[in-house]
């Protein structure tokens, strides 16, 4: 699989597992988990700097932007205006035009407001952003996001942090067949088999945070996810056997007594 590269907007990514940086015990654990996951894309949130306690450490002291692609997100934004504002701030604070765009519609489900998402994507793409949108598992919305210029689409597997796994594999499969840009399954993964399943469906990558950070042993889970994503990708490329209702013997009848 040496030539099995993931390319988005002209950028090449080595890892098909992308990870978030929230919910870890401390920055040392964050750093170690990311390292063990093998991820080379790391998503971060944009928030006010602590101006009263400057002794607090900075995330970027632990996650070297030279080693990882820092993917700022607009987590927590519930309006087009906020998502656009946070994207602009992320670009001003960082070094690239990449943004994982979230326009959330509801606090309880954290489902995306897809109408707002498309609108915000349009505005940001006009400003030169590379917009990776967090969206629902809706193929029509995914296509609209591509039509406005998103170079990849990030449909959810299940609600953020829910750990429910792939709730609608059929919709995700349709998205993967219909949409001609990379598909990154984002949110809802609970354990390694979920990640492998997403990859077996044909996802180009999987992004997760809570499944690793919230595990009882985040470091072990980070490693498990690395292998799961790799195994799922290999299985997808290998091409699985068709499902059949009845048995087919795998040993020959010939030579039996």
Partner 1 sequence: MDSAIQIHVNGQAQTWRSGTTVADLLCDLDIKTEQVAVELNLEILDRAAFGQRLLNDGDRLEILGFIGGGSL
Active site residues: 100
What's the min distance (Å) between Cβ of 30 and partner 1? 6
What's the min distance (Å) between Cβ of 89 and partner 1? 4
What's the min distance (Å) between Cβ of 105 and partner 1? 13
Q: Output 72 or 139, the one with its CB closest to partner 1.
A: 72
Residues 21/30, Cβ–Cβ less than 8 Å: yes
Distance between CA atoms of residues 233 and 42, nearest Å = 20
Distance of CA 63 to the CA centre of its chain: 18
Which positions lie near partner 1, rule CB under 8 A?
A: 19-24, 27, 30, 43-49, 51-52, 54, 58-60, 70, 72-73, 75-76, 88-94, 102, 110, 134, 160-161, 186-187, 207-210, 213
Distance between CA atoms of residues 199 and 237, nearest Å = 10
Q: Output 83 or 236, the one with its CB closest to partner 1.
A: 83
Q: Output 91 or 226, the one with its CB closest to partner 1.
A: 91
Q: Which of 116, 147, 222 is nearest to 134 (CA)?
A: 116
Distance between CA atoms of residues 94 and 16, nearest Å = 23
Distance between CA atoms of residues 151 and 166, nearest Å = 23
Q: Output 4 or 61, the one with its CB closest to partner 1.
A: 61
Distance between CA atoms of residues 178 and 200, nearest Å = 16
Distance of CA 9 to the CA centre of its chain: 16
Residues 221/215, Cβ–Cβ less than 8 Å: yes
What's the min distance (Å) between Cβ of 153 and partner 1? 15
């Amino acid at each position: 699989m040496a030539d099995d590269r993931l390319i988005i907007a002209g950028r090449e990514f080595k890892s098909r597992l992308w990870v978030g940086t929230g919910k870890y015990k401390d920055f040392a654990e964050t750093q170690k988990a990311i390292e063990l996951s093998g991820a080379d894309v790391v998503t971060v949130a944009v928030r006010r700097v602590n101006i009263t306690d400057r002794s607090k450490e900075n995330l970027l002291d632990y996650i070297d932007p030279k080693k990882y692609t820092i993917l700022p997100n607009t987590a927590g934004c519930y309006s087009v205006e906020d998502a656009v504002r946070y994207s602009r701030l992320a670009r001003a604070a960082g070094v690239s035009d990449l943004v994982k765009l979230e326009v959330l519609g509801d606090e309880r489900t954290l489902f995306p407001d897809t109408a707002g998402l498309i609108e915000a994507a349009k505005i940001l793409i006009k400003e030169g952003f590379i917009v990776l949108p967090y969206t629902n598992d809706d193929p029509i919305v995914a296509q609209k996001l591509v039509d406005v210029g998103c170079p990849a689409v990030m449909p959810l597997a299940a609600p953020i942090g829910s750990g429910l796994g792939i709730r609608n594999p059929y919709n995700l499969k349709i998205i993967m067949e219909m949409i001609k840009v990379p598909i990154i399954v984002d949110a809802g993964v609970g354990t390694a088999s979920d990640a492998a399943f997403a990859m077996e469906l044909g996802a180009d990558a999987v992004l997760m945070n809570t499944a690793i950070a919230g595990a009882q042993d985040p470091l072990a889970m980070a490693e498990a996810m690395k292998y799961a994503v790799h195994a799922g990708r290999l299985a997808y490329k290998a091409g699985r056997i068709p499902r059949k209702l009845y048995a087919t013997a795998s040993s020959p009848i010939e030579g039996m007594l």
